[in-house]
Amino acid sequence: MSERTLSIIKPDAVAKGVIGQIIADFEANGLQIAAMKMIRMSKRVAQGFYAVHRERPFFDSLTDFMSSGPAVVMVLSGDNAIAKNRELMGATNPAEAAEGTLRKRFATDIEKNAVHGSDAPETARTEIAYFFPELEIVNEK
């Protein structure tokens, strides 16, 4: 069954010039770009997006990083899109990420780790709605 997930190419990966390589990986693995835009998050928008992590020691640094430059936000769609995207991303800490995963290839460290992906259907719904009104989701599989 086709599913939606939210993907973000984080500011570190945009700065490294690897937007195309990351998107190529999604397309080669059956994840269709259903919606996409480049944005520059304000600190407040980053804090809202990562609100579940507000008590964590890295919250201030993480939201500074996420608002430090442009990011690409996308809705990916396809069979099992949430799990498939998480698999392509690799572990949060690139030191623990499997060979060939996006974080192994492109992350700098556990914070500046190149990509975001929703972790469950409910979070996918709320994360997609945070960035995309329904009328901007124009190419769903």
CA 101 to chain centre: 14
Classified as helix, coil or strand, 16 is: helix
Q: Which is nearer to ligand IDP, 119 or 140 (CB)?
A: 119
CB of 65 to ligand IDP, least distance (A): 7
Q: In what order do the strands lie in the sheet with 2-9?
A: 32-39, 71-79, 2-9, 115-117
Half-sphere exposure of 60 (CA within 13 A, CB side): 1
62 binds ligand IDP (CB under 6 A): yes
Q: What is the footprint of ligand IDP within residues 20-49 (CB under 6 A)?
A: none
113 binds ligand IDP (CB under 6 A): yes
- CB 31 within 8 Å of CB 107: no
- In one letter, which amino acid is 125? R
Q: Which is nearer to ligand IDP, 39 or 138 (CB)?
A: 39
116 binds ligand IDP (CB under 6 A): yes
- CB 38 within 8 Å of CB 8: no
Q: Which is nearer to ligand IDP, 84 or 116 (CB)?
A: 116
* Residue 26 host element (H or E): helix 19-28
Question: What is the DSSP code (8-state) at residue 115?
Answer: E
58 binds ligand IDP (CB under 6 A): yes
* Active-site amino acid positions: 116
Six token digits for residue 107: 């992350």
CB of 4 to ligand IDP, least distance (A): 17
CB under 5 A: which stretch of 15-23, 54-62, 93-101, 117-125 binds Mg ion? 117-125
> Footprint of ligand IDP on this chain (CB under 6 A)?
53, 58, 62, 92, 110-111, 113, 116, 119
> Footprint of Mg ion on this chain (CB under 5 A)?
119
